[in-house]
Structure 1
Amino acid sequence: MKSFKTLFAIALFGLNIPTESIISSEALNGAWETNFTNDDGREVHVVAILSGGYVSSAAHYTDDNSFLYTMGGAWKADGNTITQTYEFNTQNVEMVGESETYEYTIEGDILSFKGDDRVWKRIDNGTGGDLANAFLFTGRQQNGEIVARAITARKTMKILSGTRFQWIAYNVDTGDFSGTGGGTYTTINGKYTENIEFFSRDVNRVGASLQFDYKLVDKAWHHSGLSSTGNPIYEVWTPREIIEKK
């Protein structure tokens, strides 16, 4: 098995700016991808999304689309170092709440980490969709009224770049992981469409496309339509920066 440090180093992101620059959160926003061959000889595809002050990465096997791992949390950049504080980590639950810092260099669209020979390629720069941000699930409509969901250690986060999305359900106190899924998305004429590329709970959902109505109300994302099981839903997702200012 690869070391945890190596797994972390291949679970972040890339950027197209000179290596001498001081990195800002705005410059790093976007989605990034890499591929590597696991110890059992299987190819793994990893996508990382950096948005709204948070980063999440997810890996799946390319031969059957089965889910492999996910990790993420808050991050900050200082020059050519990146520090991540984990909120979830299916590779090592004991790292939840801990922070690690890594050095990196950038040449063109390629990012490499010190001590690792793998590289990341930029997918998008955080533009292209209306919903690029990190959101928490904060409410749903019941009997025509919005019922708020309390913000506790149990969280469901949805993080989006300009073209990619991932949702993750987890507990920041215990490190318990409940599930994740993600892929590509579009926002066109009030319609949010997601195309599933991985789903930890049911690989048979890979390849499905789901379309919903969406609108932004005071920056909160209102999301309505039919769930993957065909049931009507109306959800409210609030940007994390709004929640954390309260």
Structure 2
Amino acid sequence: MKKTLLILIICTIGVHTLVAQNKSTLRGAFLHTIDNKNVLWLFVDDYFSAINFENNRYISTTGGPFTYDGKTIHVSVEYNDANPEQIGSTIDMPVQVQNQHLRSNNMQYNRQPAKAQDLDGLWRITGRKQGNELSTITRGDRKTIKLLVDGYFQWIAINPAVKGFYGTGGGTYVFTDGKYTEHILYFSRDNSRVGADLSFEGKIEANQWHHSGLSSKGDPIFEIWSRDNQ
């Protein structure tokens, strides 16, 4: 009995270790580019996002929490503005990771250079200042999340419960010495914003990200983001 129990414990530990290793293999940003068309895959904190965009035009995005068994990515879809009927379902995508490349369905994605920064992770907005008053944003079905990994970022405003999609934007970022700077590569609400650089003040306190400056429209903002590991 004790021997059987020990074997089960060892097997369980082995499975959890393998799962952790698989997810670690995928953490990062992977880019497929042909002509002026780009497909960017982001993996961080058990969350996946795929973004399709041209050099000056946003196309679509899809993503959600994922698991990876070493051969297949299983994504629980929380948003898909091109095919909203997929929201709430699980999609499976075969994946092969070879050195600095990822292959899926005859497409090769190149791993982008690792640029680990303190803000890397999955975040969810939990506070916003309106006038002089800081309002708490209660966790619910509707949410705005932000993925940051290896110098890339994406925010997405969604409500999976009603298959709602309210916008997304993203690009590359740098966070150093209290300065957070974005370079916009795509923006679903306004393609003319592509190429813009935005700078903000930023600091991490008690696992919260305090973010302040001017929005893409020039309006003053102060937001609090909290880590949102799935």
TM-score tier after normalising by the smaller chain length: 0.7 to 0.9
- Runs (4+) of structure 1 exceeding 6 A deviation are none
Give the equivalent residue in structure 2 for 1:224: 212
Who is 2:45 aligned against? 52
1:160 aligns with 148
**1:138 and 2:116 matched:** no
**Aligned-partner Cα distance in 1 for 2:207–2:103:** 35
Query: Any idea what SS the aligned residue of 2:183 has?
Result: strand
TM-score by length of 2: 0.86
Q: What residue is the counterpart of 1:214 in the other structure?
A: 202
Give 2:33's aligned residue.
35
Match of 2:96 among 105, 111, 133: 105
Pair 1:73-2:64 in alignment = yes
Q: Aligned to 2:138, what secondary structure does the other structure show?
A: coil
For 1:179-225, what per-residue CA distance to the aligned partner results, in whole angstroms no more than 9, with x for missing partners? 11100000111000000011111111111111000011111111011
With 25-34 and 186-195 compared, the bigger mean Cα shift is at: 25-34
**CA distance, structure 2, for counterparts of residue 138 and residue 69 of structure 1:** 26
Partner SS for 1:173: helix
Q: Percent identity, aligned pairs only?
A: 36
1:58-207 paired onto structure 2 within 5 Å: 58-62=51-55, 65-113=56-104, 116-125=105-114, 127-142=115-130, 144-207=132-195
**How many residues matched?**
212
Q: Residue 8 of structure 2 aligns with which residue?
A: none
| Residue deviations 1:33-80 (CA, integer Å, cap 9, x gap) | 01247xxxxx42111211121111211123xx1111100000011122
CA RMSD of the aligned region, Å?
1.8
Structure 1 residue runs without a partner (length 5+): 1-20, 38-42
Paired position in structure 1 for 2:5: none
Q: Distance in 1 between matches of 2:156 and 2:131?
A: 27
TM-score under structure 1 length normalisation:
0.81
Letter in 2 for 1:120: Y
SS at match of 2:106: coil
For the Cα contact (< 8 Å) 1:141–1:233, is it kept in 2?
yes
Contact residue 125 and residue 144 of structure 2 kept, 8 A: yes
Would you say the 8 A contact 1:36–1:118 is kept in 2? Answer: no
Distance across 2 between alignment mates of 1:25 and 1:110: 15
1:24 match: secondary structure: helix
Q: SS state of the match for residue 78, structure 2?
A: strand
2:112–2:150 contact (8 Å) kept in structure 1: no
Task: Give the structure with the higher percent helix.
Answer: 2
